[in-house]
Structure 1
């Protein structure tokens, strides 16, 4: 009954902010989970055919800015007004999605994604601030729980639908994001109420300058800075769910056993989410992370609440490392699904505790400053994740890169990949010259070059974070 009584205390703007967040996450993750595939898949599938290294540069740099720029955009919103910045954000988002679906070269795609991430950076600080402004000490706990649930519902629906749409045309994925983001215009116009009186006195430039000064003040705490640096490793490992996992599954994994297993129990579900070839797309598979969070977050939160935040983080990151190991070390689609579940459990235990820990260690008069700087390791983690999923992934696990090594070793004459000779053309030509089917060639490369070794890199980064956190807790904080 107390829960229902708390729900009655939320105003229209609170619910509007949550629905806006749901549609924004739907639009963002619907395209973002598929974005790596769109960048690197063969041109004859409608994708761009870029290299893994180019993909890493685009995704890493843009996503880094998405988490760094809120330091500035939050100050702008406080001066200009939340509603205006929301409308600007939606406009930048929509034009960005359109450009991503229209541009084809590395340079223009880099620009389009940076532009889209600026839209996200404009949006990000506003909605969480709106939840805080429209809740009280009594209603904030459930309020932020509802907010987190909306994030994950959007994060599940978007990729889930995108996995179906991309089978028909990549354009449909971008149309989905454009339409979904467009809905937010109407919600904001009719249900969103400006929560603040615009600050007067200091200029916008001074407000932005003060934001950087405050960051500098916060980062004078060297112990806190050391903690943030260690957490870069966690976010680097975590982001491989978006940067590398869809590509790895697309290149190496036959998901038909997973489809057949689902079809045996729920034929309608398998046919609804599967492909016409009887497989499950990597994007649909990746969306299960958010689904597991929706189902299990409350149980995991109840379990880890008895542990200190740092201990819960170490345990959660270790579990997440185990999930990464299963996701990248084998070709069994059922084990990979289990890996996603384990990954999600680790995420549920560690990610919320990261925010809680920052809030606990912050001095009472600097909590907002500390919470602002907690985005810095997320930004740096995206940049490092882009590098690992680019050149590092390419040399260890990219199918075309490894096949080129084998072609060179055998001295085979095959045209270079170009606008008229796609990655799929290269693979088919190599298979023909090596007297193999495409499937046999894939198995040969897997057994010869061991692309599954990439799990050692990704899980190793996560385990390194755990080890460094233990050292930090044992030797730095103990003193």
Structure 2
């Protein structure tokens, strides 16, 4: 009854803001989880055929900006007004999605994705601020719980539908994201209520300068800076869910057994999201959000008994185990188990990150510290992009490893193959010249080049974060 009374106390602006967040996450994650596949997939499927290094550069740099720019865009929104900035953000989103779907060469796609991330940077600080403005001390806990639930509902629905739309064409994935943002345009125009423009006597430039000054103030605390640097490792490992995992599943994993198991229980669902008796990498990746929706409350109730730093260490260690399983096997079911373990670790660690920042911040500077907690996430995106680029490619990219095998065997391809010769063409012709089926060639490369070794790097980064956090807790914070 107490919960129901709290729910009845939320304003229309609260629920409108949460609905906008759901559709924005629907649009973003529906596109973002498919984006690495779009960048590196074979051109005969409608993808772009880029290298992993190009993919890592595009995603890493632009995503880093998405998490860094809110220090500026938040200040702009406070001065110009939330409604205007929301409409600007959605306009940038829509044009960005349409540009990405239209371009097919490196630099235009790079620009289009960076443009889209700028839209995200305008959006990101607004809704969380709206939740803070429409809740009070009694309703904030449940209010932010609802907010995070909306994030994960959108984060599941978007990729789930995208996995089904991929059977039609890549364009439909982008159209889905445009449509979801279109809903938000209507919600903003007709239902969003402006909380009011900040009137503090300062100009916009002064507000932006103050935001950077605030960052500098918090970075004077060397203990806090050390903590943020350690957390870069965690977020770098975490981001491989988006940067590397969809590609790993798409290239190496036969998800037929998962499709058959789902089909035996729910045929319609399996046939909707499946294609040719398999489940797409996008749909497999979306299960992270699904598991969070199902288990977040139970995990939160369990970890609340631990100190934030201890809970973070335990959560990251669990997440490292999930990463290890996600990248070390060709079994679709074991990979799903890995995603579940990853999600449990994420639920135990990620929320505690924000809680810990609030705990160690001086009482009169909590807002300043919260404002800089995005810095390790931004840096980790840049590092994750590099890690999923040349580094991942040299160890685990199927086409790169096949190229090595072709060179070692001295296999030659006729000159006419050099024009319009897609990745799929290359793999099919190589399999033919080696007298193997494509499945046999995939298994041969798996056994002889062991791309699964990539798990040691990804899990190792997460485990190193745990080790450094333990040392930080023991010798810097004294176990506080």
The two structures share one fold, judged by TM-score above 0.5: yes
Distance 1:161 1:323, change over 3 A: same
Q: After TM superposition, where is structure 1 displaced by more than 4 Å over at least 4 residues in a row?
A: 415-419
Distance (whole Å) between structure 1 residues aligned to residue 2 and residue 196 of structure 2:
29
Bigger shift: residues 346-355 or 255-264: 255-264
Q: Tell whether the 8 Å contact from 2:431 to 2:438 is kept in structure 1 after alignment.
A: yes
Q: Provide, for residues 77-97 of structure 1, a one-character-per-residue CA deviation record: whole Å limited to 9, x for no partner.
A: 011111100000000000000
Alpha-carbon displacement from aligned partner over 1:132-161 (angstroms, at most 9, x marks no partner): 000010111111011010000000000000
Equivalent residues in 2 for 1:303-318, closer than 5 Å: 303-318=302-317
- Rounded to whole Å, the distance in 2 between the matches of 1:199 and 1:101 is 41
Q: Which residue of 2 aligns with 1:262?
A: 262
Alpha-carbon distance in 1 for matches of 2:411, 2:203: 65
1:45 is matched with: 45
| Residue 274 of structure 1, CA deviation | 1.2
Deviation of the 1:7 alpha carbon: 1.2
Name the count of aligned residue pairs. 478
Q: Does 1:435 align with 2:435?
A: yes
Partner of residue 380, structure 1: 379
- 1:421 is aligned to 421
Could you tell me how far apart the structure 2 residues matched to 1:408 and 1:352 are? 48
**TM-score w.r.t. length of structure 2:** 0.98
Matched, 1:26 2:26: yes
CA shift digits 1:181-201 (9 cap, x unpaired): 011111111111111233252
In structure 2, what is the Cα distance between the partners aligned to 1:476 and 1:415? 63
In 2, the alpha carbon distance for the partners of 1:237 and 1:454 equals 12
Is the contact between residue 431 and residue 437 of structure 1 (CA under 8 Å) also seen in structure 2? yes
Aligned to 2:359: 360
Q: Tell me if structure 2 keeps the 8 A contact 1:414–1:426.
A: no
Q: 1:252 to 1:415 in 2, by over 3 A?
A: farther
Tell me the CA shift for residue 418 of structure 1.
6.0
Give 1:273's aligned residue. 273
Query: Is the CA contact 1:43–1:419 (under 8 Å) kept in the aligned structure 2?
Result: no
TM-score of the aligned structures, taking structure 1 as reference length: 0.98
Tell me the CA shift for residue 102 of structure 1.
0.5
Q: Which whole-Å CA distance do the structure 2 matches of 1:51 and 1:322 have between them?
A: 28
Q: Secondary structure at the match of 2:62?
A: helix
String of CA shifts for 1:368-397, please: whole Å, max 9, x gaps: 110011000000111111011111110000
Q: Distance in 1 between matches of 2:109 and 2:269?
A: 35
Distance 1:473 1:70 in 2: 30
- 2:228 corresponds to: 228
Select between 8-17 and 261-270 the one with higher mean Cα deviation.
261-270
Distance 1:415 1:471, change over 3 A: farther
Cα distance 1:159–1:418, how it changes in 2: closer, same or farther (>3 A)?
A: farther
Match of 1:338 in 2: 337
Equivalent residue, structure 2, for 1:191: 191
Q: SS at 1:54's partner residue? A: helix
Distance 2:42 2:271 in 1: 25
> How big is the alpha-carbon RMSD for the aligned residues of Structure 1 and Structure 2?
1.1
Q: Distance in 2 between matches of 1:296 and 1:478?
A: 32
Q: Within 2, Cα distance between the matches of 1:206 and 1:72?
A: 11
Q: Aligned pair 1:391/2:390, yes or no?
A: yes
Could you list the runs of 5+ residues in structure 1 that have no partner in the other structure? none
